[in-house]
């Protein structure tokens, strides 16, 4: 088994190189090449051939090759399909905002959680991504678009807290000043609510923003769409969110996909407000994206308005996500999904490059 060299920290790389009989300063050179995005050891021109040969036989460099790229006609949103060294594919989306570029990356190939509205969930689980493969998605997009990305959301395919160690290692690598150096406060992790892992994350003292996919005002409705709700009831989940805020000082946000006739009544809004009233939080309402075979439809505009107004009356701040970027952001990971957003913009209306 070859070593995944890009998942190492600079310190680990230094130990790896010196323990194998090469000089310390070579590690810094190799690190610098890896940081520049070199994808094969022969590209490391100032490295002597014996070290290059050693690296080639012992290690590999993770890549995220662009298999497909879709550019929005309406804004600068770009959607990628990346393939890794073993040919597995994931999706990532780059959005441009006034304050900079944001990327939504995947953390697993597929997902085990089986949420009934989600195309990734429906397609099953293939494998976890390594830290290097999360980094490679960002590096490939930066290189392709010739930009510097300033914000990351872990909202693509997969459940980040189900790949905990790799995700935490990625977060440390991506935010380190000898790495991509993206500020930890500019990173958001979205989870379906694996309660013990929320505590573990809080204890890492990373200070990243947590976003919890709630999608229901009570356990009965939540269990219909999210199997994880059978394992962790909502009161435990909301307690974990409260504790996350207490331990990290970071306000939690909630994702709530509005599904017609399932979770979008006025009564549902009132119950949700009641459940969240003790929490310092923000609610993102996203009209559900239609995924073939689910039978779910998004809530109509009147429902959306009524729902958000009831929350506002009860002092819960909520936003209906309407802009293209936010919509794709909220739903990226639905690789086999037909529609990209509630504005009716289909994959077909993206220009293919």
Binding site for ligand SF4 (CB under 6 A): 111, 113-115, 118, 120-121, 158-159, 192, 213, 333
What does each C-alpha distance from 331 to 173, 247, 250, 334 come to in angstroms? Answer: 25, 29, 23, 6
Closest CA to 217 of 257, 160, 159, 161: 257
x-or-dash pattern for ligand SAH, window 150-189, by CB under 6 A?
-----x---x------------------------------
Closest approach of Cβ 39 to ligand SF4, in Å?
28
Catalytic residue among 14, 91, 133, 139: 91
Cα–Cα distance between 307 and 258 in angstroms, integer? Answer: 9
Q: How far apart are CA 101 and CA 75, in angstroms?
A: 13
Distances (CA, A) of 266 to 112, 224, 263, 301, 312: 32, 19, 9, 13, 12
- Could you say whether residue 281 binds ligand SAH (CB under 6 A)? no
Encoding tokens for residue 325?
């970027």
**Residues near ligand SAH (CB under 6 A), total:** 18
213 binds ligand SAH (CB under 6 A): yes
Site string for ligand SAH, 26-65 (x = CB under 6 A): ----------------------------------------
Q: Judged by CB under 6 A, does residue 214 bind ligand SAH?
A: no
91 noted as active-site residue: yes
CA distance 332 to 330: 6
Residue nearest to ligand SF4 (CB): 121
Token pair of 22 as six digits: 């090469």
For ligand SAH, give the closer residue by CB, 4 or 200.
200
Q: How far is the CB of 284 from ligand SF4 (least distance, A)?
A: 14
Q: How far apart are alpha carbons 263 and 218 in whole angstroms?
A: 9
Residue whose CB is less far from ligand SAH, 39 or 126: 126
Q: Which of 30, 63, 92, 291 binds ligand SAH (CB under 6 A)?
A: 291
Q: Among residues 85 and 120, whose Cβ is nearest to ligand SF4?
A: 120
Minimum distance from CB of 192 to ligand SF4 (Å)?
Answer: 4
Q: Report helix, strand or coil for 232.
A: coil
Q: Is 283 in the site for ligand SAH (CB under 6 A)?
A: no
Least distance to ligand SF4, CB of residue 341, Å: 16
Contact between 138 and 88 (Cβ < 8 Å): no
**Three-class SS state of 33:** helix
Lookup: tokens for 289:
């994206």
Instruction: Pick one of 286, 308, 310, 340: the residue that binds ligand SAH (CB under 6 A).
Output: 286
288 binds, among ligand SAH, ligand SF4, none (CB under 5 to 8 A by kind): ligand SAH
225 touches 117 (CB < 8 A) = yes
Sheet holding 89-97, edge to edge: 318-320, 281-287, 252-258, 209-213, 187-191, 149-154, 100-104, 89-97, 78-83, 65-71, 351-352
Residue 304 contacts ligand SAH per CB under 6 A: no
Q: Contact between 241 and ligand SAH (CB under 6 A)?
A: no
Catalytic residue flag (residue 12): no
Cα separation of 210 and 249, whole Å? Answer: 11
Taking the complex as a whole, how short is the minimal distance between the CB of residue 215 and ligand SF4, in angstroms? 9
**Which string of b and e fits 136-145 if b means at least 16 CB within 10 Å?**
bbbbbbbeeb
Contact segment (CB under 6 A) with ligand SAH among 29-37, 244-252, 306-314, 325-333 equals 325-333
Q: How far apart are CA 111 and CA 192, in angstroms?
A: 11
Set 104, 192, 241, 332: catalytic member = 332
Contact residues for ligand SAH, defined by CB under 6 A: 117-118, 155, 159, 190-192, 213, 255, 257, 286, 288-289, 291, 330-331, 333-334
Give the residue numbers annotated as catalytic, written as ranges: 91, 332
């Amino acid at each position: 088994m070859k070593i995944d060299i890009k998942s190492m920290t600079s310190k680990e790389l230094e130990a790896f190189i010196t323990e194998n009989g090469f000089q310390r300063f070579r590690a810094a050179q190799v690190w610098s090449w890896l940081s520049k995005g070199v994808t094969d050891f022969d590209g490391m021109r100032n490295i002597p051939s014996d070290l290059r040969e050693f690296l080639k036989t012992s290690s590999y460099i993770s890549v995220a090759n662009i298999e497909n790229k879709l550019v929005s006609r309406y804004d600068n949103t770009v959607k990628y399909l990346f393939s890794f060294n073993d040919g597995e594919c994931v999706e990532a989306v780059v959005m441009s905002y006034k304050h900079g570029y944001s990327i939504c990356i995947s953390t697993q190939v597929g997902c085990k959680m089986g949420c009934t509205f989600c195309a990734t969930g429906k397609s099953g689980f293939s494998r976890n991504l390594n830290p290097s493969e999360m980094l490679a998605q960002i590096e490939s997009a930066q290189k392709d678009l010739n930009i510097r990305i300033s914000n990351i959301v872990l909202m693509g395919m997969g459940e980040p807290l189900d790949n905990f160690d790799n995700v935490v290692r990625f977060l440390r690598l991506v935010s380190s000043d000898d790495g991509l150096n993206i500020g930890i406060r500019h990173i958001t992790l979205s989870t379906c609510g694996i309660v013990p892992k929320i505590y573990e994350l809080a204890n890492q003292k990373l200070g990243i923003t947590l976003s919890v996919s709630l999608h229901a005002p009570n356990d009965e409705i939540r269990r219909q769409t999210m199997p994880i709700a059978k394992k962790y009831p909502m009161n435990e989940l909301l307690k974990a969110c409260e504790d996350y805020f207490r331990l990290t000082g970071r306000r939690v946000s909630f994702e709530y996909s509005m599904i017609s006739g399932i979770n979008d009544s006025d009564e549902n809004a009132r119950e949700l407000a009641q459940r969240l009233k003790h929490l310092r939080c923000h609610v993102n309402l996203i009209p559900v994206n239609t995924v073939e075979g689910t039978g779910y439809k998004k809530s109509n505009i009147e429902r959306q308005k009524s729902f958000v107004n009831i929350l506002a009356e009860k002092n819960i701040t909520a936003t209906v996500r309407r802009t293209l970027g936010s919509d794709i952001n909220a739903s990226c990971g639905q690789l086999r999904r037909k529609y990209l957003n509630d504005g009716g913009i289909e994959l077909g209306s993206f220009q293919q490059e």
